[in-house]
Amino acid sequence: MRGLASDYDDEDQSRHFHNEGENEFLQKELERDKIQEAKAMGFKINGMIKAVQVRLIGKDGTNFGVVPRREAMNNAKAAESDLILVVENADPPVCRIQDFSNFKYQQEKSTKKAKKAEKNKNIAMAAGISSNDLSHRVKKMEQFFASNHRVTVTLRWTRKHGRKELEDTLERICDMAECLETQAFVEGTFAQKLNGKAQFSLVPHTFGKATPKTTEAAAKLRKSAESLLSTFDGREHTNSKSNANGH
C-alpha cells in the first residue's frame, strides 16, 4: 500500500511540475507577444524599459514619485499588470502601471478619434451673413466634400441680432443645404449647443455612410429651424418681461 501511495504521490508531483512548466511557457509566450505589439506601436513595456529610475504612476492614477525600475516592475507584477513607459524623454522617464491590453485599446481608440477629427471640417457663420460671405463658405464646403470631408456648420447669433435676421439666415442655410444635396446629405438637425449657437452636419456621399432620403433630411432641418426660432422667441419674451419688471 505504501508503494502504491508513493507512486500516486510521485505522479501528482510530476503532474504539478508539468503544469507549472506549461503555465510558465504560456506566460513567456504572452509576454513575447505583448513586447512585439508594444514595439509595433512604438512603446516600451516591462523588460524593454532600461532606465535606472522612473517616475511611477499607479494603476489608479496615484503618483508614487521617483522609484528604482526594479521596484516599479515589482509593483506592476503585484497589481497583475504591466509597466508601460509613457514619457520617455522626461527626467526621469515616466511609467504607468496598467494592463497592456487596456492601454492598447485606449491608444487605438484615440487614434480612431484623431483620424475622425481629421475628416471633420468646421464652417462657422453668423446670423445676418452676407450673400458674398455665404457663397464663399459654400465654395469652401464643396472643396471639403471633394476631399471626402464631413462639414459641421455652426450658426452663431447674439442679442444684437433680431428675430427677422435669424429667421432669414436659417432660411438661407436650409436652401444652401438643399442646393448641396447632390454632393452631400444633411445629418442631424439644428442642435442647439449653447445660447446663441447651433450646429448640424453635411456629409459627402463618398463618406461611406448610408445616404438617407435627402428630402426627408432637409425637411427635418427646416423643422428644427422652426423650433430654434420658437426657442429664440421664448427667450426674447422672457427677457422683455424681466426688463419690464425691472422698470
Q: What is the pLDDT of residue 32?
A: 83
C-alpha span between 88 and 70 (Å, rounded): 17
Q: What is the pLDDT of residue 17?
A: 46
Q: Helix %, strand %, coil % for the chain, to 5?
A: 55, 25, 20
pLDDT over 90, % of the chain: 41
CB-count exposure of residue 200 (10 Å: 0-12, 13-18, 19+):
buried
Report whether pLDDT(119) > 60. Answer: yes
C-alpha span between 144 and 120 (Å, rounded): 9
Q: Cβ(184)–Cβ(205) under 8 Å?
A: yes
pLDDT band at 240 (very low <50, low <70, confident <90, very high): very low
Task: Assign 3-class secondary structure to 52-77.
Answer: CEEEEECCCCCEEEEEEHHHHHHHHH
Half-sphere exposure of 98 toward its Cβ, with a 13 Å CA cutoff? 21
**pTM for the full model?**
0.50
Q: Grid cell 428644427 — which residue?
A: 224
Q: What is the pLDDT of residue 76?
A: 94
What domains are there in the chain, each with its CATH number? 42-102 (3.10.20.80), 116-237 (3.30.110.10)
Q: What is the pLDDT of residue 212?
A: 53
The pairing of strands 63-68 and 120-126 is unpaired
Averaged pLDDT of the chain = 81
Which is more confident, 118 or 202? 202
| Cβ within 8 Å of residue 197, ≥6 positions away | 154, 155, 156
C-alpha span between 30 and 101 (Å, rounded): 11
User: Average pLDDT, stretch 230-240?
Assistant: 59
Which is more confident, 247 or 92? 92
User: Average pLDDT, stretch 205-209?
Assistant: 67
Q: What is the pLDDT of residue 242?
A: 47
Report whether pLDDT(2) > 70. Answer: no
CB-count exposure of residue 190 (10 Å: 0-12, 13-18, 19+):
buried
Condensed to tens digits (0 to 9), the pLDDT of residues 41-68 reads 888 999 999 999 999 999 999 999 999 9
Which is more confident, 84 or 231? 84
Residue type, 157: W
Most confident of 100-114, 136-150, 219-233: 136-150
| Cβ within 8 Å of residue 246, ≥6 positions away | none
- What H or E segment, with its residue span, contains residue 159? none
Q: What is the pLDDT of residue 244?
A: 47
Condensed to tens digits (0 to 9), the pLDDT of residues 91-105 reads 999 999 999 999 999
Condensed to tens digits (0 to 9), the pLDDT of residues 128-174 reads 999 999 999 999 999 999 888 899 999 999 888 888 999 999 999 99
Report whether pLDDT(73) > 90. Answer: yes
